[in-house]
């Protein structure tokens, strides 16, 4: 006979606590999980820039890309008001191992 088990599902909401390094199209961040992860946006930006060049095309400029900031919601943003969902950024990222 199987015992009744309660399974607790926790949905983690990710957000970025700190930008550690910025390279062309890549940002290394510390997330609220304590993990340091590398986010490579190059392929996504190229795709988005073909769909909406006026909005995302500017981010393909390496110098403009490096102006990225962290907003109050814990996500990456630029002066042209482009930002990305922190959950999406977490899923796109890869952990940095020492």
Domain ranges of the chain: 16-95
pTM: 0.83
DSSP per-residue string spanning 42-69: HHHHHHHHHH-HHHHGGGGSHHHHTT-E
State how far the alpha carbon of 14 is from the alpha carbons of 36, 47, 70, in Å. 12, 24, 14
- Tokens standing for residue 75: 């996500």
Q: Please give the CATH number for the structural domain made up of 16-95.
A: 3.30.2020.10
What are the pLDDT digits (tens) for 51-97? 999 989 999 999 999 999 999 999 999 999 999 999 999 999 999 97
What are the pLDDT digits (tens) for 64-77? 999 999 999 999 99
């Amino acid at each position: 006979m199987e015992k009744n088990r309660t399974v607790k599902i926790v949905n983690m909401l990710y957000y970025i606590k700190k930008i550690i390094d910025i390279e062309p199209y890549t940002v290394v961040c510390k997330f609220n999980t304590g993990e340091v992860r590398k986010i490579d946006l190059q392929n996504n930006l190229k795709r988005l820039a073909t769909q909406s060049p006026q909005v995302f095309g500017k981010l393909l400029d390496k110098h403009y890309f490096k102006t990225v900031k962290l907003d109050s919601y814990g996500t990456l943003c630029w002066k042209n008001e482009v930002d990305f969902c922190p959950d999406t950024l977490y899923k796109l990222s890869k952990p940095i191992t020492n």
